[in-house]
Structure 1
Amino acid sequence: MGPAELIVLAFPQETITAEAARVLGTLRTAGDIRVVDSLVVARGADGEVGYTEVGEVEHLRGVAAAGGHDLPLIGPEDAREAGGLLEPGTVAVLVLIEHLWARAAEEALRAVGGRIVSGVRIPPERIEAALRAARQRGADG
């Protein structure tokens, strides 16, 4: 298996819409990643956090969950942690993905005694902010 990552995809409403489900469906068909496990986490307007399996949400069945696991890899502790990131009245899908694109690199590294030991996800907003700051510094001379 290649490197894996748990991603929290948040949405500004209390349930996953059919439109969001269609977008999530592209995760399974893009080919760069494999969805290993997934879970829906919601934080109600009252601040209470709850979670449910993706397969229990009708329009998400077969969209983001990979299936094939006897035991889920994303559990209640992950749901509570993700719920703490959400604003009241919002929902998220936790998605555990395998980076298929990195599998060949991992195999090549292992063949010469190397390995991937860490990775850090940098949110796009932070990269965009850094690029704006760098452009501004360049413009300021």
Structure 2
Amino acid sequence: MTGMSWGPLEFLVLAFPGSAPGKAAADALAVLHRPGVEIVDSLLVTKGADGAVTSTELADLPEFREVMTRHDLIAAEDADEVAAGLDPGTCALAVLIEHAWARQAADAVERAGGRLAASVRIPADHVPEEP
């Protein structure tokens, strides 16, 4: 991907019972498509009842084709790591998203003579609930 500039990427693993996540999962992923957030790669990882692991690009599956792009950034090693966390008879969507809004904001700051000095992701479970 020579010349491609990426914003911060986030790797999500969404686990589901059974060997296929279903149409509702495709609808849920469609919610991620919004200005400033892009799905750049995705993979379906399935662990059979016998422990055998398979993986398929979501962009190759009809129910996901409309919401998926394919950049081949999720490697076989990533699929193996996802599978290691799955119970037999389950599957997971491995989704790589780009926070394009952050790249755009950093570019604007740079044009203004500044620079992005730090970026820290704080998990939701570390943020206190509002009263």
TM-score under structure 2 length normalisation: 0.77
- Whichever residue aligns with residue 66 of structure 1, its letter is T
The counterpart of 1:24, out of the listed 16, 22, 29, is: 29
Larger Rg: 1
Equivalent in the alignment of 1:34: 38
Q: Which residue, out of 46, 50, 67, partners 1:46?
A: 50
Partner of 2:73: 73
Q: Paired residue for 2:115?
A: 114
Separation in 1, partners of 2:22, 2:32 = 16
Partner of 2:59: 55
Find the counterpart in structure 2 of residue 94 from structure 1. Answer: 94
Q: Report the counterpart of residue 11 of structure 1 in structure 2.
A: 16
Contact 2:58-2:64 at 8 Å conserved across structures = yes
In structure 1, what is the equivalent of residue 3 of structure 2?
Answer: none
* Matched positions, count: 124
Cα gap change, 1:116 to 1:96, in 2 (>3 Å): farther
Higher mean displacement: 99-108 or 78-87 = 99-108
1:66-102 deviation digits (Å, cap 9, x = unpaired): 24x4xx1111111001111222221111111110221
CA contact (8 A) 1:35 1:98 kept: yes
